[in-house]
Structure 1
Amino acid sequence: MSAPTRAGDPDGLERIWTPHRMAYVRTAVDDEGCPFCSIPGRPDEEALVVARGEAAYVVLNLHPYNPGHLLVVPYRHVADLTELSPEEAGELMTMTQQALRTVRAVAQPHSFNVGLNLGRSAGGSLSEHLHQHVVPRWTGDANFITVVGGTKTLPQLLEDTRTLLAEAWSRA
């Protein structure tokens, strides 16, 4: 067994410092309550809701990694996947599949990242309310402008992206 390393000892890993991500790490439910619980009570255009189901809804991420970054969210405030009823889990997956079809039809991404961050230490900045990420990816979309320039490049306003996706939802 090797000796434990001390802070600052080389470990052979490269580091990319992303201080802008601290806003997500520090996010907590504020005085207004859970944002995912308040979204369904607002108009779709204002809240950036793409589609609504019986047990879940689809909304654009306000802080997207890429254009078309969607969140599939159960209406019920639960933190863990195991807390969903079979009906809720089924609709969450059905809406995720429809999100993939819709984004493919509208934006033709090369790939997707789809997943859940269960718990704050797993990257879930709003870990109190389960939500599944659907992130479209294109070859070469990862760059250093966000880290080096402190800028996120998005080619389209969120409102315009929401309109395109909402209109294509039932056709995809």
Structure 2
Amino acid sequence: MVLHQDGVGEPDELERLWTPYRMAYIRGENKPTDPAASQCPFCRIPSLDDEAGLVVHRGETAYVVLNLYPYSPGHLMVVPYRHVPEYVDTDDAEAAEMAALTKTAVRTIRSVSGAPGFNIGMNQGEAGGAGIAAHLHQHVVPRWVGDANFMPIIGRTKTLPQLLGETRRLLAEAWPTA
């Protein structure tokens, strides 16, 4: 349906996949305006229970959490507990645990979903694309051949076949214990 300024449309033979939860991200809702730790969602998440916070695993210096606005099913983030903005600000223990948790995240996601590929990375600073620049977080994004089809490119929409709570439960149950 082609929408006109007055909101009335004409049929165009296209189907619609509505993802209204994405509007919170687009509008920047719940995004901290102050870089202080008191407003930081990554500082608040550890105080929540695992289900409410979408926490998959808690380590000594860092934790693993599902992305609230995932690029693909199983999109996780490895986050230090300490409120630091850049990778160079982590201490040796944080950097080592983040690396170990990232390796475990890849293995766990692969065991649960069979993802054949991954994008792993950190966006540092607003200019670097970080949505929350004040608190470092590393993305672990599972990928499948053909997953970046026309939907995100033309439709600016990601299709996710599973609710976040169910994804969190599957990954948390599959996460290896020490």
TM bucket (normalised to shorter chain) is 0.7 to 0.9
Where do residues 114-133 of structure 1 align in structure 2 (5 Å cutoff)? 114-133=120-139
Whole-angstrom CA distance in 1 between matches of 2:146 and 2:152 = 14
Whole-angstrom CA distance in 2 between matches of 1:145 and 1:27 = 26
**Equivalent residue, structure 1, for 2:43:** 37
How much does 1:144 deviate?
2.2
How large is the RMSD of aligned CA atoms in angstroms? Answer: 2.3
**Equivalent residue, structure 1, for 2:66:** 60
How much does 1:95 deviate?
0.5
2:116 pairs with 1:113: no
**Equivalent residue, structure 1, for 2:146:** 140
**Equivalent residue, structure 1, for 2:26:** 23
Whole-angstrom CA distance in 1 between matches of 2:27 and 2:118 = 21
Whole-angstrom CA distance in 1 between matches of 2:27 and 2:173 = 30
Instruction: Give the % identical residues.
Output: 54
Q: 2:87 aligns with which of 81, 93, 101?
A: 81
2:162 pairs with 1:156: yes
How much does 1:152 deviate?
2.4
Structure 1 residues 65-116: Cα deviation after superposition (integer angstroms, max 9, x where no partner): 0000000000000001111110011001110011011001001111000001
User: In 2 relative to 1, CA 123–26 (structure 1 residues): closer, same or farther, beyond 3 Å?
Assistant: farther
Task: Give the 3-state SS of the residue equivalent to 1:37 in structure 2.
Answer: helix
**Equivalent residue, structure 1, for 2:107:** 101
**Equivalent residue, structure 1, for 2:4:** none
For these two proteins, the number of residue pairs brought into alignment is 152
| TM-score (norm: length of structure 1) | 0.81
User: In 2 relative to 1, CA 113–37 (structure 1 residues): closer, same or farther, beyond 3 Å?
Assistant: same
2:56 pairs with 1:50: yes
Whole-angstrom CA distance in 2 between matches of 1:103 and 1:148 = 28
Q: Is the 8 A contact 2:62 2:80 kept in 1?
A: yes
In the alignment, residue 126 of structure 1 is paired with which amino acid?
I
In the alignment, residue 57 of structure 1 is paired with which amino acid?
Y
- In structure 2, the gaps of 5 or more residues are 1-22
Whole-angstrom CA distance in 1 between matches of 2:100 and 2:146 = 29
